[in-house]
Amino acid sequence: MPTSSATPQEQGVTGDPSTSPERLGVLRLLRTRGYRRLLAVRFATQWGDGLFQAALASSVLFNPQRQADPLAVAAGLAVLLLPYSLVSPFAGALLDRWDRRLVLTVANLAKAVLIPLVALLVLAGNQGPPFYVGALVVAGIGRFALAGLSASLPHVVSKRNVVEANTLAVTVGTGMSALGAVSAVGLRHVFGSDDAGSAATMSVSIVGAVVAALIAVRFTRKRLGPDQTDEHPQALIAVARGLFDGARASFATPTVSASFLALGTHRLAFGISTLLTLLLYRYAFIDDGLLKAGLEGIGEALALAALGLVLAAVVTPLLIRRIGRTWTVRAALVAAMISQLAVAALLSMPAVLVGAFVIGLTGQVVKLCTDAAVQSEVRDAALGRVFALYDVVFNVGYVIAVTVTALLSPPDGRTPVLLGAAAGLYVLGYLGHDLLLRRRARA
């Protein structure tokens, strides 16, 4: 149970057995004031982040004022993902020391100040170091806020509701990111696809940051934790020790380390398929009836991936209850492997769209299982540090996969071999997941 000072009304407790978690599930969660408020912060934050990231990517990849080769695309993706690794070590240490309500408020306000500065650089046609540094800072602050949301969740719901609460929050939150990206596509039709249009589209993401900050500040002080801390008072020592403690806490629990490995192989495979999909839509595919190439085609793929994310929220709890978390992860890895082999064999828009849906679904299933393992099996005082390690390992892997793919891929992205390699990574994830869980059995 969370050790917060929330009143029974804030926690949604009525004393009526008909309102028990087992009876009402998600409905009861949505009646919980603190959980609803945290959801609202997440939705506003992730919608704004999705819009900003899509505007940033489109200004690099689909801007008629410049050509983008695979390495330029990889650089843009690295800007979006590296903050997960650069910020997370500090995030883990600080989120287990600082008032998380203050983190959510200040981080979103800082984004609202910095986004216009990056937009001005886009407007000026500057895609040099200042542009990438500015984008890195904005994305890094966004990552800090998302880590705070994950670490705060156990403080607004009871322990037995963490799995379903996380499933709903992460899945719909990721869907909000996709909606933000789709919103960016629509806004570019309004503002234009040149530098001025990209800057205007990017500026709209300020709305999400401001709304998130206004909602987060309504939590009472320390409502979101941490309740206690064992962090070292010196920040740099705390960071170094935090990563070590996160690794130790993760490896000490075989179900957590096995889930981490499964999700890590998914991130590597996802990095390969992401870059190749962008290149295919930019250079290889052409409009085919209802199916579109270019940025509109990417929008269609994002919409299907978002549909997969939403479906994951429904099927993951059902699968866990029926076959258990272990076999749910493995079934997702097998399905993802099959979809990547199909894309490699067909290399067509319909195959890529189906693959986007399957990867959205299966990747989210694995992520939800991993989050549930961490939030239910790692002690609260170490949650921030485990999530920090989580981000560092998996997003460094994603950036490495994107970079290697950019070096090996032809300019138009037509490379079945690399897509086959992505399928092979899912096989390795399955085998590694089994190996790490056998460690628990031997123990």
Mean pLDDT, the chain, rounded, equals 83
Residue 14 has pLDDT above 60, yes or no: no
Question: How sure is the predictor about 337, in pLDDT bands with cuts at 50, 70 and 90?
Answer: very high
Residue 430, token pair as written in the block: 């399955």
- Average of per-residue pLDDT across 379-400: 76
Residue 371 has pLDDT above 90, yes or no: no
pLDDT at 65: 57
Neighbours of 235 (CB within 10 A): 14
pLDDT at 86: 66
Q: Are 147 and 92 in contact (CB under 8 A)?
A: yes
pLDDT at 16: 36
Amino acid at 210: V
Residue 302 has pLDDT above 70, yes or no: yes
DSSP, residue by residue, 76-124? HHHHHHHHHHHHHHHHHHHHTTS-HHHHHHHHHHHHHHHHHHHHHHHHT
pTM more than 0.85: no
Residue 338 has pLDDT above 90, yes or no: yes
Residue 3 has pLDDT above 50, yes or no: no
Please tell me which residue, 411 or 6, carries the higher pLDDT value: 411
Q: Which of 45-49, 77-81, 185-189, 292-296 has the lowest mean pLDDT?
A: 77-81
The CATH classification number of 23-442 equals 1.20.1250.20
Question: How sure is the predictor about 189, in pLDDT bands with cuts at 50, 70 and 90?
Answer: confident
Q: Which of 93-107, 196-210, 403-417 has the lowest mean pLDDT?
A: 93-107
pLDDT at 9: 33
* Long-range own/partner contacts, residues 71-75 (CB < 8 A, 24 or more apart): 71/406, 71/407, 73/275, 73/278, 73/279, 73/282, 73/406, 74/275, 74/402, 74/403, 74/405, 74/406, 75/132
Question: What is the distance, to the nearest Å, from the Cα of residue 390 to the centroid of all Cα atoms in its chain?
Answer: 11
Cα–Cα dist 373/335, whole Å: 21
Please tell me which residue, 289 or 358, carries the higher pLDDT value: 358
- Average of per-residue pLDDT across 317-328: 94
Cα–Cα dist 21/24, whole Å: 5
Residue 353 has pLDDT above 90, yes or no: yes
